[in-house]
Every structure is written in structure tokens, then in C-alpha cells.
Structure 1
Amino acid sequence: MAVPSVPAAAAPPTASAADQLTRVIVAYDDADAAALAVDRAGGKVGRPLSIVESFAAEVPGTQLSALRSAPGVRSVTLDGEVALQAERWRADGDANSMFSVVRATGALDVWKKSDANGKPIGGAGVGIALIDSGVSQVTGLNDPTRIVNGPDLSFESQSPNLRYADTFGHGTHMAGLIAGRDPGTNFQTVDTPTNFTGMAPTSTLISVKVATADGATDVSQVIAGIDWVVTHRNDPGLNIKVLNLSFGTDTYQDEKLDPLSHAVEAAWKKGITVVVSAGNDGKTRTALSMPAANPYVIAVGAADSKGTESRSDDVLADFSTRGNTTRSADLTAPGRSIVGLRDPGSYVDVNYPTGLVPGDSTGRYFRGSGSSQAAAITSGAAALLLQQRPNLTPDQVKKLLVSTADAMTAGDVLGRGSGQLNIKKAIEAPTPTFTQTWAASTGTGSLESSRGSAHVSDPVTGTELTGEKDIMGQAWTGTTWARAATAGTAWTGGTWNGATWTGTALNGNSSTGRSWVAVGWSGNNWAGRTWSGRTWSSAVWDGRTWSGRTWSGSTWSGRTWSGSYWSASIWQ
């Protein structure tokens, strides 16, 4: 976008000799408004930098603070600083690096504390389930003692070379923010960003893969994944206490009826703290994505740091779903331009090369924006609380995180919840007495309605999976399923909803890690087809997202995975 000419305005202040013009880069949300703000500050708009939605400018030094908070301005950075970062990226000089995130959220301080047993608080002993596109064994996520592969419920589970691997890139990015930790890192003494460290670096992360390289997955696979987590939450070595869902559908079905909503509520009532992304539809959708719409779970919106270390100028990211006065985000966490771990060769990596961090000589890092990232960061924070106080109920975890959030005074009120995550304050707060009393869901609604606009399709025949049946072709009976989900017995061995989906146990060794035994799907049913995310490809993962509206469009994550959110166009 070319920088517009500045409209006529009142005469700007004149710079004195003591107020020399400073060269800056102005990143904008609204180019016209940002240019007008520069003019009113007594500055001059310079060359356009359209690829990063910015322009160069010269502004009186005394006006920099006012310009940073002006309408339409995302950030103001000294021109020289930008050049230096381009030559050599430094995590301690990037407000959206994980080092900056753990410092801003208070996790860096929490890591220096100990639990009742004298262990440093990094999430030790707490299992965090990540239902996503899998986790690749990149550096920082290659510790077989902490990274566990639960069942692969995706269509790629039938290919041994793809099983458990993250061919899409979303899951690896989320996993790094939650539990990444470089080998040999002493997280208690981290005071420089030389090693990548996620929010809960000693937690156990259990990956439940449901999505393929093109984003193809059905809501029945997601529900099956949630049910598996509930059934196996107390398995030896897992102790699943947190469930991260960085996606959502665009269903308008009432949350008391929707099966996906009931699945997360059942997990919550079995003692699992469920953290869900609010969605990435900005102001265009007046409801949170499902299952964030369920009032029990923790719905997280995305905060925008405006490229500064200070929280005083932080706002709700423009893409973060606002919801409505009945149900909106409970709190926010960093969600714009977050630097996570790169998944080389994945769909994201290949199709959005501008997500690579300029100046990163290691080639390990990748940026992404969305409430997905905000939810992942919050899930890691929840694990820290649960190590400190293992007997906390999900309701108490939610109360602690929400009641101790830092106020976000700038930007939109609707969508920012109680403010920004501050895990240090939560750790130091007394245990609350708190029980949520929302009307219970029934889960007896329509599976097809729960899909919203996102459907998988057969790339050969074009046939879409629709109606009241799951990917195995099994009929969906809401009342029967809901009863089992509530009881935590929806899985029997490797069987779910009357069909065999996976094996029945973990296996593996110290070198390969632990992985759930896989089984082959056979028979002439829906599972035998080669599904693609074609209809998810412009409405879910792509299009505005990745390819459809699943993980990003207006379903799974709004615009999280769209080109504009994996490119340099939104980063400072």
C-alpha cells in the first residue's frame, strides 16, 4: 500500500534547535491516520515501506511518545534500530520474542521460585495436552522425556512417514510457546535470550494430532481428541491438567447444545483446565469461536505490544475477536508477531517465508500472530500455577489468572477481558474460593452444525463430509455420546463412537520418545478416502487463514494463519 498524501490540517508545531527531528519507522494500522499524526506532531512523512505496512518519517524527539499512542499508529521505532535488527536479530531487542514474552508475563520471575517440594516452578509434573497439527522434533522440542505423542487421529496417521509429524507447522509453533526448552538450558538462571524457553519449560507436553498438511480435519476428530485426553488424563506419566485448543469453528449453535462445547465442558469438570483461543475475526463476528463460547473455559484474546517492552501502550490486536457483552474473552496474552520455533518444510514454512526472522543466523525461528499464540502462552502459565498448587480446580485456576491480569487501559474494551496475563501476580495471590455455576451443556446438538462452514472433501470426487456422521462413517447419536463424554468413558481401548481409531498404549524408548500405537483404518467408509482441506482452504487454514476457515479463517482461528498474519506486513 502506498503511503497517502497528508490531508490539510492545522499548522503543526515548529521544531526548535533543542527539538531536532529524529528519523523513525512508523508502522501503521491505518496509513492515512498515521500520516496525519506525523504531520500534526510537526514531522515529515518519508519513503513508503509498504511490504511491512510502514513508512519512514522525521519527527521531533519530544513528540515520539505522543505519536506512539496516536490513532492508526502501531509502533514507532528509531530508524537506526531497525537497520541493526535486520543485520543481526536479538531476542532481547524484540518486544515479541519469547524472552520478552516470559519477562513481560512474569514467568521469568516465577521460574526463580520453588514449589512446596523445593522444585523450581517450570511446570514440572504437569501434563499439557495440545490438540493440533502435531509436533515436530525441532531443537527445543526434542526431549523424549517431556514431549509425548498421544494418538495421531489425523488422516496422515495412515502414512508411517507422516504419523505424529507436524506437516502443517501450527502445532510446533504452539508447542514451543507452551513448553519449548533448548537442551542444557538452566531456566532458573535465564537472564539473556541466548536459548529459546517457553512458558512452562519443565512440563510434559502431550501432542494429539488431528490435522494434516493442508489443514484437513473434521470436528469429529477434534472431539475424539478431547475425549481421548479426558479418558487418559491420569495415565502413568501423563497427569494431564491443562488442555490447549488454539482453534475454533464458526458455528452459531448454542453452546449448551454444541457437541464441541460439551466436550470441553466435560474435560473441565473432570479437572482439566481448558484454554481456548477467542478467535481472529476482529470486529466482523459478534460471537467467540466455538468452543471459546463455552463460559466455563478460559477464552484468550490476543494483545498487541505495539513493538515496545512497556505494557502501558498495549492494545487488543485488531484481528482478535471481540465477541459480545454476553461472552467475550476472559483475558488477553501476547499474540502479535510472536517469535516461536520454526518447523522446516511444513506448509507454513514453505508458503509464508516472510515469517522467518530477518537476521536470525540459526534459521530456527518463525513469527506468527493470532489468539492461537495467546492461548498457548496462557496454557503454559496455567501449568506453572498447577505445579505450585496441584490441588487447584480449573475454576480456581481461571479465577487466579483473570483476577491478577494487568489492566489494559488503551484500545477496545470489548474483547480484552480483565486485561493481560501476569503469572507472577497469580503465583503470589492467595488461593480463591470460587466455583462457576453456569447452566450445564447437554451436547445433544448437531455434529454438522458444529462444523460450521468448515468441511473436509474428497479431492477426487469433490464429495464433502456432511451430516450426522463422523470420519469413519459412523452415525452420530448426540445423547449417547454426550453421556459417555460426561462420564469420561467415550474411549474404550482404541475405539471411539463405535469404530477403531488408534491403538491402546504408549510405547517407545529414550531415543525415540513415547508414542501412542497406531492402527490402520480399513473398509469402504469415509475413513478410506483421501481427504483434503479443499473447503477448509479459503475458509479455514488458508484464504484469510491458511486455506479455509478452520485454523484461521473465521472458524479455527479467524485470520491467524492468513498470509497477512504470517508475513512481515504486520511486524515491526
Structure 2
Amino acid sequence: MWEQTRGEGVTVAVLDSGVDASLPHLEGQVMEGADFTRDPEGAHYDTEGHGTVMAGVIAGTGEGGGIQGLAPGAEILPVRVADSASWDFGLEDRFAEAIQYAVDSGAKIINIAVGSEVASGNPEELYAAIDEAVRSDVLIFAAAGNSAEYSNLVSQPANYDGIVGIGAVDRNGDRAVYSTPSPYVALSAPGNDVPGYCPDRSWEEACLVERGGTSVATALTSASAALIWSAHPDWTKNQVLRALAQTAEGDGRRDDNVGFGMIRPDRVILDEGVDPGEPDVNPMFDAYERSLDPPVSPEPVPDEEPAGEPEEEEPADEDAVPEGEERSDASASGAGGDGGGGNAPALIGVIGGLIILGGVAAAVIVNRRRTA
């Protein structure tokens, strides 16, 4: 895939705990960004390390023994929204500002790997920001969460309309035991034995993490989308998303465990026969996008009608959200696509050679929705 593209020309916004841009493998990869936390220290300030790992998995260069990302040609826009990988009170408002900032800054992809199982604050501003991102042709991926072994509650905002939820799979291509199954899981990616920093290693030295979680799966999904969009810059977000769903490792049907299956960006980039479909039809959130006012794609302005002829009323959209009613959570069950065949171990082997840690090839590719 890297002979075709490395993600050049695509900016990925990482909404997380910040990104330490001073590390060798991230030098020159990270933009200035912004800090929306209560006590801002700058977008490059990251005491948690979570956002820095996400940025490395997406666009790290591998320099200095650090993480070799899947899309090293992409740019990282760091947007600090939390001090850790958790969702604290009022984070909805903070995320609304962060998403709008990412859109205004030209990001094509927004990676959200922090969240919470409990909502807090007022989500209306967040809904509005997501709507604006959708209108601006921006893809948002969020981790579905790692709570399957205890609460099994989906991590927000992976369950919001317009956000693509990502789950994690193991080396066999099955749902990782911790990955939260739900109707909001749209796609999956490897979450085990993935690049990161081990507790007994120095901050600069990378290693494989046994349980990387849906966070890393989400980062690998964002990186995969960056590769595809870079190879097909004329595609819309709908076409990139449809290509990911159609070529995922599965039978073309969605389930709550892995969505449409583990992503296979190589099938999109190396196979010129992939049909991206209609540019203005979202394969997963079509009803939601058609309900937006103003719409995602404004209708052409009609010619002035002859005087005396009444205007025809357009039929009501049965799928639209009625004005004044509460906005419902999103479900990925409407996504479509022809799933590719093959087995998961082969997929991991094909894609895995791209991520190299200290000279050791790590077979990983992840597409997931959100992680707590």
C-alpha cells in the first residue's frame, strides 16, 4: 500500500489527551493544534500519553525506535480535550468546540478514542458540531469501548448520529473479549498486540501492547481512511466509508460484535475495481443526513417559477427527526456493502508488516469506534 500512498494530503484530528510532538517519531508530523481543557497547557502537553500513542499509530515515522504508524504521510492535528482517556463532566461542550475547531482547521478525519459510559452536560452543542462536520465532508471515528467484561455499556460519543463506532478484534479476527458489542459498532480492527508504550519501558521506546483496546483500533481505522482518501482524493467521506465497509473481512452483513468486520484498506488501495458508490449517500447514516436542516448537500436553486403557478410541497421525509423531538442515538445497522472473503489471520499478516517497532514487524490494522 505504501507504494501507492502513505496518507499524504490528509489531516487527521486527534481529539484526546494531547500529543507530545517532541518525540523523534512524531517530529514534523504534528501541527500546532489547540487545547480545550479547563486548565489549558497547549495541545502538545500530554501527561497521560494516550493521545501521543494514538498519533503515533496513525502517523508515526518509527524514528528513534518509536512507533511506525500506518499512514506516516498524514498530518496530525492535536486537539486536547481531556487530561486522560476518560470523559469528565461537561465534556460534551468541550468536544463540540474541539470538533468545530477540527473542521475549521481543515481536518478530513476526526479520531476520538476517549469517552465515557455515562453522559454528562448538555449534548445539544455537540450534536450541532457533529452535524456541521457531516456537512463539511468530515469522517468521525470513535471507539466503542472496552467494557464487555463488566458493564458492557457503549462508550460515548460512539453512539451518536454521524459518528462511526469502532470495535476491536483479536488475532483470530474475533471480537476481543473486552470490546463492547452494540448496535453502534460499524467496523472493527485489531486491538491486541498493537504498538504502544509499555509501563516498564522508557517513554521514547515502543513495544507491543497485549490489550491495546478499541482506542488503538480506532486510530488504525482513521489511518486506513487517510490512506484511502489520499489515494482517492476526489472521493467523498461517504465513498471512503462505503469502501471500508464493502471490503471489510466478513460476509457483507453487520453484527453487534465486529460490525461489518475487520477493515482491509489494502483491498481498496490495491484493487482498482472497488466501486465507491454514490458520493452523496451515506452508507450508514443516510436517514440522519437527510433529516438535517440545512441539508448536507444543498439542493440546486430552481429557476424562478412562472407567476401564478403555486409551488409544490415536497413530500415529508418519514425518516427525518421531527422538529422538537429528542435526537435518537445512531445505529450502524443500516450500513451496506459487499463484504470481502478470506480469513482474518491472513489479513493481519498482509497489513501487519506496515507497523515496525524497533525492527520488529507488528501485524496490525484496526478499525473501531471508541474506547474509554
TM, length-normalised to structure 1? 0.45
Q: Which runs of 5+ in 1 are unaligned?
A: 1-109, 114-120, 185-193, 234-239, 306-312, 343-348, 444-478, 483-555, 559-572
Q: Which amino acid aligns with 1:174?
A: M
Q: Secondary structure at the match of 1:320?
A: coil
- Letter of the 1:229 counterpart: A
Matched, 1:172 2:55: no
1:433 alignment counterpart = 277
> Structure 1 residues 318, 260: CA separation in 2 closer, same or farther (over 3 Å shift)?
farther
**Structure 2 equivalent of residue 112 of structure 1:** 3
2:158 to 282, 292, 305: 292
CA contact (8 A) 2:19 2:45 kept: yes
Would you say 1:125 and 2:9 are equivalent positions? Answer: yes
Unaligned runs of 5+ in 2: 294-323, 328-369
Could you say what secondary structure the match of 2:31 adopts?
Answer: strand
Task: Indicate conservation of the 8 Å contact 1:156/1:163, yes or no.
Answer: no
Distance 1:288 1:215, change over 3 A: closer
Whole-angstrom distance in 2 between the partners of 1:265 and 1:183: 38
CA contact (8 A) 1:333 1:374 kept: yes
Structure 1 residues 195 and 366: alpha-carbon distance in aligned structure 2, compared to 1, 3 A threshold = closer
1:178-205 per-position Cα deviation (integer Å, ceiling 9, x unaligned): 0000349xxxxxxxxx874211101111
What is the match of residue 205 of structure 1?
76
| CA-CA distance at 1:149 after TM superposition | 2.2
Q: Summarize the Cα distance change of 1:283–1:364 in structure 2 as closer, same or farther, 3 Å threshold.
A: closer
| Equivalent AA in structure 1 for residue 18 of structure 2 | G
Higher relative contact order (Cα pairs below 8 Å, separated by 6+ residues): 2
Contact 1:260–1:290 (Cα < 8 Å) also in 2? no
Tell me what 2:33 maps to. 150
Alpha-carbon distance in 1 for matches of 2:173, 2:43: 40
Separation of aligned partners in 1, 2:9 and 2:174: 34
Which of 260, 277, 281 in structure 1 is aligned with 2:147? 281
Per-residue deviation, 1:215: 5.6
Aligned pair partner of 2:207 in 351, 356, 365: 365
Residues 319 and 258 (structure 1 numbering): CA distance in 2 closer, same or farther, change over 3 Å? farther
Cα distance change of structure 1 residues 433 and 408 upon mapping to structure 2, 3 Å threshold: closer
Residue from 117, 124, 127 that aligns with 1:250? 117
1:472 — aligned with what? none
* Contact 1:261–1:293 (Cα < 8 Å) also in 2: no
| SS of match in other structure, 1:330 | strand
Identical-pair percentage: 27
| Counterpart residue type for residue 100 of structure 2 | D
Superposed, 1:159-198 pairs within 5 Å as: 159=41, 164-183=44-63, 196-198=67-69
User: Max radius of gyration: which structure?
Assistant: 1
TM-superposition CA deviations, 1:270-293 (whole Å, max 9, x none):
111111111222165566332221
Contact 1:154–1:209 (Cα < 8 Å) also in 2: yes
Structure-1 separation of matches of 2:142 and 2:213 = 12
| RMSD of aligned Cα (Å) | 3.4
Q: Partners in 2 of 1:286 and 1:366 — Cα distance?
A: 26
Q: Which whole-Å deviations, capped at 9, do the CAs of 1:132-178 have from their partners, x for residues lacking one?
A: 111112121122xx311211112342x5xx66211111001101100
Q: Distance in 2 between matches of 1:314 and 1:279?
A: 17
- The reply on whether 1:224 has 2:91 as its aligned counterpart is no
CA distance in 2, matches of 1:364, 1:415: 29
Change (3 A) 1:321 1:260: farther
Q: Distance in 1 between matches of 2:219 and 2:181?
A: 19
- The code of the aligned residue for 1:396 comes to Q
Offset at residue 420 of structure 1 (A) = 0.8
Measured against aligned partners, the alpha-carbon deviations of 1:399-455 in whole angstroms (never above 9, x if no partner) come to 10011011289xx95321111111111222424224122235779xxxxxxxxxxxx
CA distance in 2, matches of 1:195, 1:174: 12
Residue-pair matches, total: 284
Return the offset for 1:314: 2.6
TM-score (norm 2): 0.67
Aligned partners of 1:283 and 1:322 also within 8 Å: no
Paired residue for 2:192?
Answer: 336
Kept in 1, the 8 Å contact 2:10–2:229? The answer is yes
Contact 2:195 2:206 (C-alpha < 8 Å) held by counterparts:
no
Q: How does 1:27-38 map to 2 (within 5 A)?
A: none
Secondary structure in 2 matching 1:149: coil
Is it true that 1:268 corresponds to 2:141 in the alignment? Answer: no
Question: Does residue 321 in structure 1 map to residue 180 in structure 2?
Answer: yes
Q: 1:408 to 1:302 in 2, by over 3 A?
A: farther
